[in-house]
A and B are shown apart, each in its own frame.
Chain A
Amino acid sequence: MSHHHHGDEHLLGDDAPAVLLLGRPNAGKSSVYNRLTGAHAKVGNFPGVTVDILSADLPLPGSQKLARVLDLPGVYSLDVTLDPGTDEGVARSFLDRVIAEKTRAVLVQVLDASQLAAGLALTRELLARPLPLLVVLTQRDVVLAEGRLLSVAPLVKALGVPVVAINAHDPSTRATLLTAIAALVAEALPGERPAPSWSADELAHQAITDAPVVTEEALERRDRTAQLDRVLLHPVAGPVLFLGLMIGLFAAVYAVADPVSSVLDVGVQRLGALAERLLGDGLLGSFVADGLLGGAGTVLAFLPQIVILTAAMELLDASGYLARGAFLIDGALRPFGLGGRAFVPMLTAHACAVPAIAATRIVRDPLERLTVILALPLLACSARIPTYGLVLAAFFGGRPVLQATLFVALYLSGIVASVVVSMVLRRSATRGRRLPLVLEMPAYRSPDPRAIARACWVAGKRFVRDVGTVILACGAVLWVLLHVPSPGAPADPHPTAASAMERSVGASVGRALEPITRPLGFDWRINVGLLGSFGARELMVGTLGVISGIENADEHPESLATRLRTARDSEGHPRYTTRTGVSLLVFFVFACQCMSTLAAIRRETRSWRWVGFVVVYTYALAWVAAFVASRVAGLLGLG
C-alpha cells in the first residue's frame, strides 16, 4: 500500500468552505454525516484507507454558498500516529494539508458524550489547530437513559468554542447542526488559543452528573455492556456464538449470492442471444454476447455478495460486536502473524476472494491488511469447485473414495498455503512494524440502518466503478485471444467452434507456453483452457469443452471427462494421464486464475505492482507445486 496520499482533487480545492468531521472511532461520526447530508455523497479516492472519505455539498442557512462536508476516518489522536498508512495517518495528513494550503475550513468534532473524558483528549489537540471548532456531543439519549444529566455550559466555558448536544434519532438534529455550522463558517479564523487549563476528567465530571433520582432501570442500563460481555465473551459460549455467527455469514454470502447470480446469469444469456440475433453470429455478435455482456454479467454477479458482506461488516462494527469477535479469535491467529480482524475476510474468501478483498478494510494495520490481501487468493473459493469436480471425474472416475479424499485435501491445501504464505510475507515482502493490539471495545449500540444502507450503496458503486471496469476490459481482451484468428493461420475449410479456437491467437499463446507447461503434463489445449479460465475459473470447463469439440460441457461434464480420458496423441498414447490430473488440480489450488480477484487487489492496494506480485508468486508456486505433485504421483505409480 502506497503511503503517498494523492487525495481526489474534487474533495478540496474550490470555493466551498470545507467542514471536516473528526472524532474517535465509534463516536457516531457516520450517523452525524448521514443526518447532515441525507442522500448526497461522493466517495473520495484515498489509497490504503479502510474507511471511505465521503463528501457532500450542502447549502447553509442564511448563506448563498455551499459548504463541503467531509467525513474523515476516525482518529484517537492527530498529534501521534504510529504509521502514516493507518486511517489516523491519512486523517492527519489531510488536515495538515488543509492548514498548509490555507483552505477555508472549519472543524467539527463528533464526541460520544458517554465517553466524554476520552473524547476531550482529542478536543485538546484540535484546539491547537488554527481553525474554528465546533464540538458535537452525540449519544445524549444514552447518557440520559443511564440516569445522568448532561450540561454543555461548563464545556463551552472551559473550551471557549461552541458545543451542541444532539440525539441521533431527533428529527430537529439536522437543523440544529446546520445552524451551528453556518455560524462557525461565518466565524473569523481564531488566533492562537491560550493553552488549555482544564483537565479532561474534571471537565467531564462537571458536564455529566448523576440525575437527582436514578431509577433502577437506569442503573441496569449502565451495566448493560458488561452484562452482554459476560455472555458474548464467555470462555465457552463466546467462541461458539462467534463461530456460529461467522458460519451464518459465510452461508449467506455463499447461498444467497448464488441464486441471485444465477438469475443475473440467465438475464445476461438472454441479452447475449438477443445481441447475436441482432448482430449476427459473426465476430461482432460473439464479441458483444460473450466478450462484453459476459464480462458485465461477471461484474453484476459479484454485487449481491459485496452488498451482503458490507451490510454484515457494518452491522457487526456499528453494534460493537466486531471488536469482540476480534478479541475472541486473536489468540488463535497470532502465531501466524495475523490479528483477530483478519478472520472475517479469510473465511469469506472460501466463498469468493472478491468480496473478501473488499472486507479486508476491517483490518486496520496497513501491513497486516496487505498480507491478508496477498494471501487470500490461495483459499479455495466456490469457483474452483466445478473445475475440481471435472478434473476429479476425468482422471479419478470410478474411485469415489479417492475423489472425496482429494477434494478435502484440495480445500485444506488452500488454508495451509495461505497461512504459510502469510507467515513468509510477514518476514519478507510485508515485513515491518506490527502495530500493538490496542482495540477499543465500545459499548454495545443499536446500529443506524441509514448508515448501513449508505455503506452498502457506496461499496456497490465503488466495486462497479473500480473493479467492474477492469473486469470488462480483461473480458474483452480474453475474448479477442480466444476468437480472433492468429495472423497467418491457414484458411479454415470447415469452420467449427473447435477449429476456430484452434486457430485463435490464444491457441498460439497456448502452443508457445508448451515448453513451460510440458513438465507438468499440460499440452496447448489445457493451456488454452487455463487462459480461458482466467476470466473466471468456472470457464475452464466450458473452454476445454469447446476445444475438445463438445458443446455445453458445463451441463454435461461427464462427456468431456470421457473425452479427456480417452484422448490419444498421434502415436496412440493417452494424451492425458492421472498425473496430468494431479498436477492440474494442484496448479488450480495455487494459481490466481481470476481477473476479478486481480482487479479487486488493484482497487484495494491502489497499485498494479501488488497485482503483478500476486500473479508472479501464485503462478510460480503453482508451477513448482504441480511439478512436485506430478513427480510424487509418478513415484506412487500413478500412470
Chain B
Amino acid sequence: MTLRELTHHQTARIVALRVDPVEARWLRALGVAEGVAVTVLRAGPFRGPLQVRVGERTAFAIDRALAGSIDVDPAGAAE
C-alpha cells in the first residue's frame, strides 16, 4: 500500500520510493528513506497535502501525488 492510503495515526515503514532516481536521492537526504517509520497525522483541507511524521522527531507536509508514490508496510512498523 502507499503512504497516501495509510490510515491516519497508523505507523508504517517505508519500503520503496517509486519516483525518479534524483528525486528519490533528494527524499532520502531529507530523511524520507526506505526503512524509516512514518505516521500520517492529518490531511490539509481542499484535498491538500498530508502531514507526515517521519522518523522520531521530524514532520513534513507531503503532497498527495508524491504520497501515492511512496510504498509503505504497516506490518513492518512493529519491528
Contact = CB atoms under 8 A, between A and B. Distances in A.
Interface string B47-61: 111010001111111
Interface stretch (A263-271, A327-335, A568-576): A327-335
Given A233-B42, A331-B46, A438-B66, A121 B61 contact: no
Contacts of A328: 44-45, 48
B57 A117 contact: yes
A441 B26 contact: no
Contacts of A439: 49, 60-62
A331 B22 contact: no
A77 B29 contact: yes
Interface string A193-211: 0000000010000000000
A118 B51 contact: no
A239 interface: yes
B32 interface: yes
Contacts of A81: 26
B41 interface: yes
A76 B30 contact: yes
A548 interface: no
Contact of B60 (A82, A125, A233, A440): A440
Contacts of A340: 48-49
A219 to B, nearest CB: 15
Contact of B59 (A82, A117, A329, A441): A441
Contacts of A437: 49, 61-63, 66
Q: B interface, how many residues as a size bin?
A: 20 to 34
A440 B57 CA distance: 11
A436 interface: yes
A331 B28 CA distance: 25
B13 to A, nearest CB: 13
A82 B55 CA distance: 23
B59 A436 contact: no
A331 B48 CA distance: 4
B23 interface: yes
A488 interface: no
B18 interface: no
A436 B31 contact: no
Contacts of B57: 114-115, 117-118
B65 interface: yes
A122 B32 CA distance: 14
Contacts of A323: 61
A226 B46 CA distance: 22
Given A436-B63, A437-B66, A330 B49 contact: yes
B1 interface: no
Given A121-B31, A438-B32, A438-B66, A77 B26 contact: yes
Interface in A61-86: 76-77, 79-82
A326 interface: yes
A441 B55 CA distance: 13
B58 A327 contact: no
A80 B60 contact: no
A480 to B, nearest CB: 51
A229 interface: yes
Given A115-B58, A440-B60, A79 B65 contact: no
A439 B59 CA distance: 8
A235 interface: yes
Contacts of B55: 117-118, 201
Contacts of B60: 438-441
Contact of A436 (B23, B25, B41, B45): B23
Interface in B28-42: 28-32, 41-42
Interface secondary structure of A, over-half rule: helix
Which has the most chain A C-beta neighbours within 10 Å: B46, B56, B59, B61?
Answer: B61
Contacts of A233: 42, 51
Given A331-B44, A332-B45, A441 B30 contact: no
A339 to B, nearest CB: 9
Contacts of A327: 44, 48-49, 51, 61
Contact of B61 (A115, A225, A238, A441): A441
Interface string B6-30: 0000000000000100110111111
B65 A436 contact: yes
B29 A438 contact: no
Contacts of B59: 225, 440-442
B18 to A, nearest CB: 12
B25 to A, nearest CB: 4
A439 B55 CA distance: 15
Given A437-B61, A437-B63, A441-B60, A79 B29 contact: yes
Given A115-B58, A117-B56, A330 B23 contact: no
Nearest to A117: B55
A165 to B, nearest CB: 17
A274 B27 CA distance: 62
Contacts of A80: 22, 25-26, 28-29
A116 B22 CA distance: 24
Contacts of B46: 331-332, 334
A330 B44 contact: yes
B51 to A, nearest CB: 6
Given A80-B22, A328-B45, A331-B47, A436 B58 contact: no
Nearest to A339: B63
Interface in A85-126: 114-115, 117-118, 121-122, 125
A91 to B, nearest CB: 13
Contacts of A229: 41-42, 51
A387 B14 CA distance: 58
B58 A118 contact: yes
A396 to B, nearest CB: 37
A440 B52 CA distance: 10
B56 A331 contact: no
A244 to B, nearest CB: 15
Which has the most chain A C-beta neighbours within 10 Å: B19, B23, B58?
Answer: B58
20 contacts: A80-B22, A80-B28, A82-B22, A117-B56, A121-B31, A122-B29, A229-B51, A233-B42, A328-B48, A330-B44, A330-B48, A331-B44, A332-B45, A334-B46, A340-B49, A436-B19, A437-B49, A438-B60, A438-B66, A439-B49
Closest 9 pairs (CB-CB, A-B): A331-B48, A77-B29, A331-B46, A437-B63, A439-B61, A80-B25, A441-B59, A332-B46, A327-B61
Given A330-B63, A340-B49, A437-B63, 4 more contacts: A331-B45, A331-B48, A437-B66, A440-B30
